[in-house]
Amino acid sequence: MTTTESTDVTAAQGIGTSPVRPDGTMKVRGEFAYSSDLWHEDMLWGATLRSPHPYAHITGIDISAALALPGVYAVLTHTDVPGVNRYGLEHPDQPVLAEDVVRYQGEPVAIVAADHPETARRAVAKIDVGYEVLEPVTDSEAAVAGEGPELHPGGNVVRHVPIRFGEQDVTADVVVTGRYEVGMQDQAFLGPESGLAVPAEDGGVDLFVATQWLHVDQQQIVAALGLPKDKVRLTLGGVGGAFGGREDLSIQVHACLLALHTGKPVKMVYNREESFYGHVHRHPATLYYEHGADRDGRLVYVRARMYLDGGAYASTTGAVSGNAATLGVGPYSVPNVTIDCWGTYSNNPPCGAMRGFGAVQAAFAYESQMDRLARACGLDPVEVRLRNAMSEGTRLPTGQVVDSAAPVDELLTRLRAMPLPADRSGEPDLRHLPGGVSNTTHGEGVVRGVGYAVGIKNICFSEGFDDYSTARVRLEALGGEPAATVQTAACEVGQGLVTILQQIIRTELGVEQVTTLPMDTSIGSAGSSSASRQSYMTGGAVRAAALEVRAALVEHAARILGHDRGDLSVGGGKVVSRTDGVLADLVDVLGDAAFDRTVEWRHRPTESLDPETGQGNAHVQYGFAAHRAVVDVDTELGLLKVVALDCVQDVGKALNPQAVLGQIQGGSAQGLGLAVMEEIQTEGGVIRNPSFTDYLIPTVLDMPPMRIEVLELADPHAPYGLRGVGEPPTISSTPAIVAAIRAATGLALDRVPVRPEHLTGT
């Protein structure tokens, strides 16, 4: 649809304002029902038996003792999966319940339903599984070299993405090389995996679950259950954070299986430890880079090899590898590029989507390289970036020409102009020093460093994926007021989509009262709440549906009021004529009529990458953010205090300025976590720290208040000109902090998270 009627940009609580979230008060007061709060009369509790081994053959499963336990209603194994015992977002390679082999520690082997969660757990402990333990495969580079046993048919490489751009054998005067490592980060969402499956009279099942994409869950569930699509209906439960960790299935099929088997509602909730085994993590990566430049620091070429460890199952490893490769040189204009990126299988925990999705790993490496290049050329780190900054019109290594604002130069210039924090002076407050109130320094050994970084992220789904969202908007008079209703299947995961959708409708229809219906599969897919895409996609779909409603309304008003349709608009609850002013109250014009439109909305199509050269217009939009970090390092103890973490980001249009700031703060904090503390540590495929005692995420004493500048350079191809906000701030935060630590210490620091051991050589 190509409606061009102007929108009412001044609508009360419309776009560009920051109204209170509809779920905000309840969340703050602890009254919001998360999916772990779901409850049903007479429900059973599900529990999962998981493999203790990263790699083993299953020689037998004896469930008799578990079944004999009073209170146990069902104990199911792979033989009870009625459909295809395989699922997966890109390749169906992951069993719902393990058959003859387990490929990671924590892989589900059997499930139990019992009348009490404790009974379910005890029953799980009584299931006797025979394992023949095998030597785990844990090395991505070895997998690419073809070494070791094949974990899946076809070998251990999930995807190889080559990029061949420009000349492949150029040389340069200045060459810097590096090998970088990124540890396995966790999404660390606070609400554990949970849901409730309720068997229905029609032989189907209704599932209430915390997820990121209802329809892709549904698709995988029906395949595993062997049911038609209309027999498995999903409704979004209250989601306590996602960050990519809920894209893959967790309890979905298990809870449905148990509910269908027992004929009773079944609730499943993971505890914190189980949650660490129950969702995918960020791919750990090893990256080899070579940057060639002229003596002025202008890039001549970039060559890179990247190894992303996808763990036991593919999940989204293919797409993550695609991102890492296509965004592998960063937001720079580089004439000649050679990149090979491999996503591999191993017996490590499965890895998949996490905020930043491949761009994070690449950014740590290419930004570290840019700092090295600056040093090699005797340039300031910002200057070397400015000399190579891409801009609108730049041809990326995929051959794609960037056709909207790419203000890398402006982001950096503004960032550099921001005031720096004052030096420490006077009596130190422990809370502002490395170590905090742990009282490790009163200033001794503390050196300050400043670091810059800038990053790039593709927004929305790429590589030819048919990316769309469905929205329904209804307008009618209710209780003497014009009232709109919006329905989508787009998952509110905490990001504030529910607020944005209401704002869009207020802007387009000029009505204040907007009700959001529960998000479920009774309407078409909205795609995933990921790839920073929901404001763009579901926002775009809701806007399109609202515009159709408005067109129909204006048509209707013209008829009733006997006015020329072209002269009419709606706003502020009125029907307005351009020539004669306000003509009527909207509510009167509506009368008994209701306007109800459903729209399936798409962004511009993208192309797949050429499998040999990596060429293609693969991405639809790019987002950019830049960070400056100021870090105080206790050089003797290796402890840190991030004193400032300032950010400039272009968001095209801030639909909700407060939500934009929240995304930038949260994303930056997640990047800080990766820089200095967050890592799932594995040893031979075994997770050593599956708890919040030892998987540390930043506290308020680790994360400084931020200075943030938001640019709004409209993208003409996007609804309202907006640019996805959620991911870019996670990407540049990490390398900026590490650059600051390097500046303070002079150390090379080629691995994140940086640990005290790295800073003290111990």
Q: Tell which residue, 348, 343, 357, 22, has the closest CA to residue 158.
A: 343
Shortest distance, position 46 Cβ to another protein, whole Å: 17
Beta strand 621-634 with 595-602 is unpaired
Shortest distance, position 45 Cβ to another protein, whole Å: 15
Which residues are CB-contacts of 596 (< 8 A; sequence separation ≥ 6)?
Answer: 472, 473, 474, 475, 549
Q: Which is nearer to another protein, 88 or 434 (CB)?
A: 434
Within 10 Å of residue 200's Cβ, how many Cβ atoms? 14
SS3 472: strand
Q: How far apart are CA 110 and CA 132, in angstroms?
A: 17
Q: How far apart are CA 100 and CA 58, in angstroms?
A: 5
Q: How many residues does the chain have?
A: 762
Tokens 């840190």 sit on residue? 640
Shortest distance, position 689 Cβ to another protein, whole Å: 5
Shortest distance, position 281 Cβ to another protein, whole Å: 16
Question: Three-class SS string for 87-127?
Answer: ECCCCCCECCCCCCEECCCCCEEEEEEECCHHHHHHHHHHC
Q: Which is nearer to another protein, 194 or 469 (CB)?
A: 194
Shortest distance, position 220 Cβ to another protein, whole Å: 31
* DSSP one-letter code for 436: G
Beta bridge partners of 475: 484, 595
Contact criterion met (CB below 8 Å) for 285 and 320: no
Q: Which is nearer to another protein, 570 or 674 (CB)?
A: 674
CA angle at residue 152 from 242 to 133, to 5 degrees? 90
Beta bridge partners of 46: 113
Q: Tell which residue, 758, 632, 638, 756, has the closest CA to residue 704.
A: 632
Q: Which is nearer to another protein, 498 or 680 (CB)?
A: 680
Shortest distance, position 443 Cβ to another protein, whole Å: 10
Chain centre distance of CA 756 = 29
Q: Which is nearer to another protein, 417 or 700 (CB)?
A: 700
Q: Which is nearer to another protein, 660 or 677 (CB)?
A: 677
Shortest distance, position 687 Cβ to another protein, whole Å: 10
Q: Tell which residue, 323, 627, 653, 337, has the closest CA to residue 455.
A: 627
Q: Tell which residue, 705, 376, 653, has the closest CA to residue 536.
A: 653
Shortest distance, position 641 Cβ to another protein, whole Å: 6
Q: How far apart are CA 336 and CA 165, in angstroms?
A: 5
Shortest distance, position 124 Cβ to another protein, whole Å: 11
CA distances from 653 to 15, 37, 463 (A): 9, 36, 25
Within 10 Å of residue 109's Cβ, how many Cβ atoms? 23
Q: Which is nearer to another protein, 114 or 523 (CB)?
A: 114
* Amino acid in the structure at residue 502: Q
Q: Which is nearer to another protein, 117 or 335 (CB)?
A: 117
CA distances from 702 to 351, 444, 638, 698 (A): 26, 19, 14, 5
Q: Which is nearer to another protein, 171 or 693 (CB)?
A: 693
Shortest distance, position 47 Cβ to another protein, whole Å: 12
* Amino acid in the structure at residue 512: E
Q: Which is nearer to another protein, 187 or 606 (CB)?
A: 187
Q: Which is nearer to another protein, 67 or 701 (CB)?
A: 701
* DSSP one-letter code for 429: P
Q: How far apart are CA 629 and CA 646, in angstroms?
A: 6
Q: What is the dihedral of CA 186, 191, 192, 193, to 10 degrees?
A: -100
Which stretches of 497-642 are DSSP H helices? 497-509, 534-561, 586-590
Q: Which is nearer to another protein, 726 or 753 (CB)?
A: 753
Shortest distance, position 624 Cβ to another protein, whole Å: 29
**Phi and psi at residue 275, in whole multiples of 5°?**
-60, -35
**Residue 717 structure tokens:** 């191809």
Which residues are CB-contacts of 31 (< 8 A; sequence separation ≥ 6)?
Answer: none
Radius of gyration of the CA atoms of the chain, in A:
27
Which stretches of 378-442 are DSSP H helices? 381-388, 408-417
Shortest distance, position 436 Cβ to another protein, whole Å: 3
Q: Which is nearer to another protein, 273 or 409 (CB)?
A: 273
Q: Which is nearer to another protein, 150 or 683 (CB)?
A: 683
Shortest distance, position 444 Cβ to another protein, whole Å: 6
CA distances from 307 to 6, 159, 289, 324, 681 (A): 49, 10, 12, 10, 18
Q: Which is nearer to another protein, 86 or 424 (CB)?
A: 424
Shortest distance, position 644 Cβ to another protein, whole Å: 15
Shortest distance, position 191 Cβ to another protein, whole Å: 17
Beta bridge partners of 131: 58
Q: How far apart are CA 684 and CA 268, in angstroms?
A: 29
Shortest distance, position 637 Cβ to another protein, whole Å: 5
3-state helix, strand, coil in the chain (%, to 5): 30, 25, 45
Binding site for another protein (CB under 8 A): 121, 271, 273, 431, 434-442, 444-445, 636-639, 641, 676-677, 681, 688-689, 693-694, 696, 698-702, 755-757, 760, 762
Shortest distance, position 701 Cβ to another protein, whole Å: 4
Q: Which is nearer to another protein, 13 or 760 (CB)?
A: 760
Q: Which is nearer to another protein, 434 or 667 (CB)?
A: 434
Shortest distance, position 440 Cβ to another protein, whole Å: 5
Q: Which is nearer to another protein, 440 or 513 (CB)?
A: 440
Q: How far apart are CA 318 and CA 357, in angstroms?
A: 11
**Phi and psi at residue 246, in whole multiples of 5°?**
-110, 20
